[in-house]
Amino acid sequence: MRQLLLILGFICSLTADASDKLTIAAAADLRYAMADIVSLFQQQTQLDVRVIYGASGKLSTQIRHGAPYDMFFSADISFARQLYQDGLAATAPQPYALGHLVLWSPQQNMAGISLSQLAEFDFNRLAIAQPAHAPYGQRAKQALQAAGVWQALEAKIVYGENIAQAAQLAQSGGADIAIIALSLARFPELASQGYQPIPTELHQPLQQAYVITRHGADNLAARQFAAFIATPPVLDIMQRYGFEQGRFEQPSLVQQEAQ
């Protein structure tokens, strides 16, 4: 309780001085959770917050090319870490959650269906995020490979630019099944059908982290939001959307094979 009071006191002390607008670049798996977090933050501070969602790799590239983002919430800590090492972030990466993948379809209940069963499953298209720049897409590919079905299914795979677009492909009929973030599958609009969690040992962990960028180094609102992220109401929102707290750098079959 004392720690919470100190954090809230820090937030309040910044409110009077934080006149800057806050622009956040956030991984697409945060689309629904971040909307709730920002809404709560704005209720308490009356600050102007804008969030741009996308694939972590593309957002990182935009920051490198001068995009005026004050904070960057990455679905893969490696992007945040590299920005910090290259002098493009004012703070070291701060882990905020561990993400999870699920097998989901808007047409049928996927609960109980494993990745290894997909090779014999009757469907036409499987949507995943683009592995080249979306961490959730990269991990989806790793999981399909570890399950031994990547080659059998590769011709059926369609790609979204990010994990939210992969879900939209399935929603719009562009795919029958999708591998998406648990945080999206928990949103009421997508939760009409059951989903199947994908074992975390099939892929590298989705350790997620944020940084205050070099552009946002002097933005007091960014520091205020960073303090807000650590408060119990925000942690409750993250938990509701399926983000795991306090367990990072977990081992995986992919990492073990690399060793």
The reported pLDDT for the residue numbered 193 is 80
Q: Is 7 annotated as a binding residue?
A: no
CB 89 within 8 A of CB 40: no
Q: How far apart are CA 72 and CA 60, in angstroms?
A: 8
The reported pLDDT for the residue numbered 107 is 87
**Pairing between β-strand 177-181 and β-strand 101-104 as defined by DSSP bridges:** antiparallel
Beta strands in 105-227 (DSSP E): 126-129, 157-160, 177-181, 196-197, 206-212
The reported pLDDT for the residue numbered 188 is 83
The reported pLDDT for the residue numbered 258 is 36
**Pairing between β-strand 22-27 and β-strand 49-54 as defined by DSSP bridges:** parallel
The reported pLDDT for the residue numbered 20 is 66
Q: Which residue has 């650590």 as its token pair?
A: 230
The reported pLDDT for the residue numbered 205 is 95
2-98+205-258 and 100-202: identical CATH topology: yes
Mean pLDDT by 10 residues, the chain (259 residues): 47 48 97 97 95 98 98 98 98 96 93 93 95 97 97 97 96 95 91 89 97 97 96 96 73 38
Q: How far apart are CA 190 and CA 192, in angstroms?
A: 6
Q: Cα–chain-centroid distance for residue 18?
A: 27
- Nearest C-alpha neighbor of 82 from the set 97, 61, 53: 61
Q: What is the per-residue pLDDT across 179-218, written as a single tens digit (0 to 9) for each?
A: 999 999 999 888 778 899 999 999 999 999 999 999 999 9
Q: Any idea how long the chain is?
A: 259
Amino acid, single-letter form, for residue 71: M
Percent of the chain with pLDDT over 70: 87
The reported pLDDT for the residue numbered 18 is 43
pTM for this prediction? 0.87
Q: What is the per-residue pLDDT across 104-130, written as a single tens digit (0 to 9) for each?
A: 999 889 999 999 999 988 999 999 999
The reported pLDDT for the residue numbered 13 is 46
Tokens of 114: 């494993």
Specify the CATH number for 2-98+205-258; select among 3.65.10.10, 1.10.3720.10, 3.40.190.10, 3.30.470.160. Answer: 3.40.190.10
Q: How far apart are CA 78 and CA 160, in angstroms?
A: 21
Q: Is 163 annotated as a binding residue?
A: yes
Tokens of 141: 């590919």
Specify the CATH number for 100-202; select among 3.40.190.10, 3.90.79.10, 1.10.1670.10, 3.30.420.40. Answer: 3.40.190.10
In the chain, where the domains are located: 2-98+205-258, 100-202
CB 200 within 8 A of CB 250: yes
